[in-house]
Structure 1
């Protein structure tokens, strides 16, 4: 990602970023008020995202949604201060979060996200494995899955561990199975993903 020029001395708040509108900020993200842009994803990247959506959608209980490619306010700063907004490849959120955005506008909020998923691209390895991992943990997102398309396809399941940030058990290949619970323990569901079928039939 590279930073786009900003007006001198002007860093964007979440309010200003949200007001840009979908057509204007496209695949942009906001990092401490600085607008960043990503190159368009590859075809393989988009195929993997589509197949993840299909696998996840059939397993989520009523009341949850899997949503690709939407902005998330990481809530790391007040709305009128230089902010952080990321655009994960996938989110798992509640129906209530989707309804709030539908009725109020604005962005999804980190506090509404159960799982954030990034599919690693050649130019995003450090961003996904280090920078976003730290930001998502700071934002309190309970689970962060990093899907790597290097052969063999793998998934790293990062789980919040109190003040220690994310902890993980290393990369999983083949079949990934886990149980996801929200911070309150009120929402609990199981997920099983066939990683080998994300790109190959």
Structure 2
């Protein structure tokens, strides 16, 4: 008789009897399939990205890292408290593909715990996946603008690869520049030049 190896149990998402605050969400940790985001206290399962998506995210982070001013740092795939609700209320948290944050945010998280805060973010970047077009272009765009994040870049890997630069314009939300293909240049949050046609 052949012994069948036991499967190592993976953590399961607990049934949550109420809407979660951001602090409660942060305590959940990783779950068995993909990862979660939090929208007004409700857990959203987000499938893990495809390899092409991950490659583009890594390339963006590498290209940004060498161009950022000393007070900024690029990080990937971390939860952000959008600060759209008081601490005890059902909260909002997203996990963007790439972030540009102020360097002191890292020290604060190390010392105090919790998540990166929207008020510490200079640029949030989402790479469009199959099935995320409306979420990235409408829902997250509205949430990131409401959270006061100055710039939101949406990268679409469909040929030709393009980048949409959304810039916060006060009460009007994001003003959107035309889609960029080939070379993207900006002066905010610092001087950055990105070739986006060869990300993957």
2:10 is matched with which residue? Answer: none
1:130 is matched with which residue? Answer: 138
Secondary structure class of the residue paired with 1:193: strand
Moved over 4 A (4+): 22-26
**Aligned with 1:110 (options 111, 118, 137):** 118
Q: Tell me how far apart the structure 2 counterparts of residues 192 and 172 of structure 1 sit (CA, whole Å).
A: 12
Rg (Cα) greater in structure: 2
Q: Tell me how far apart the structure 1 counterparts of residues 106 and 34 of structure 2 sit (CA, whole Å).
A: 19
Asked whether the 8 Å contact 2:81–2:115 carries over to 1, the reply is: yes
- How far residue 99 of structure 1 moved from its aligned partner, in angstroms, is 0.8
Asked whether the 8 Å contact 2:160–2:181 carries over to 1, the reply is: yes
Name the CA shift for 1:102/1:24 in 2 (closer, same or farther; >3 Å).
Answer: farther
Q: Tell me how far apart the structure 2 counterparts of residues 95 and 83 of structure 1 sit (CA, whole Å).
A: 24
Name the CA shift for 1:26/1:122 in 2 (closer, same or farther; >3 Å).
Answer: closer
2:60 is matched with which residue? Answer: 52
2:5 is matched with which residue? Answer: none
Q: Provide the aligned C-alpha RMSD in A.
A: 1.6
Q: Does 1:93 align with 2:73?
A: no
1:195 is matched with which residue? Answer: 196
Q: Tell me how far apart the structure 2 counterparts of residues 190 and 102 of structure 1 sit (CA, whole Å).
A: 28
Q: Which runs of 5+ in 1 are unaligned?
A: 182-188
Show CA shifts across 1:71-100 (max 9, x none).
Answer: 000000011110000000010011100110
- How far residue 116 of structure 1 moved from its aligned partner, in angstroms, is 0.2
Q: Does 1:119 align with 2:120?
A: no
Q: Tell me how far apart the structure 1 counterparts of residues 99 and 41 of structure 2 sit (CA, whole Å).
A: 22
- How far residue 194 of structure 1 moved from its aligned partner, in angstroms, is 0.3
Q: Tell me how far apart the structure 2 counterparts of residues 14 and 104 of structure 1 sit (CA, whole Å).
A: 15
1:42 is matched with which residue? Answer: 50
Asked whether the 8 Å contact 1:6–1:34 carries over to 2, the reply is: no
Secondary structure class of the residue paired with 1:30: strand
Q: Does 1:178 align with 2:179?
A: no
1:185 is matched with which residue? Answer: none
Question: How do 1:46-85 residues align onto structure 2 when only pairs under 5 Å count?
Answer: 46-85=54-93
Q: Tell me how far apart the structure 2 counterparts of residues 26 and 152 of structure 1 sit (CA, whole Å).
A: 28
TM-score (normalised: structure 1) = 0.89
Asked whether the 8 Å contact 2:34–2:47 carries over to 1, the reply is: no
Q: Tell me how far apart the structure 1 counterparts of residues 86 and 52 of structure 2 sit (CA, whole Å).
A: 37
Aligned residues: 188
Q: Which runs of 5+ in 2 are unaligned?
A: 1-12
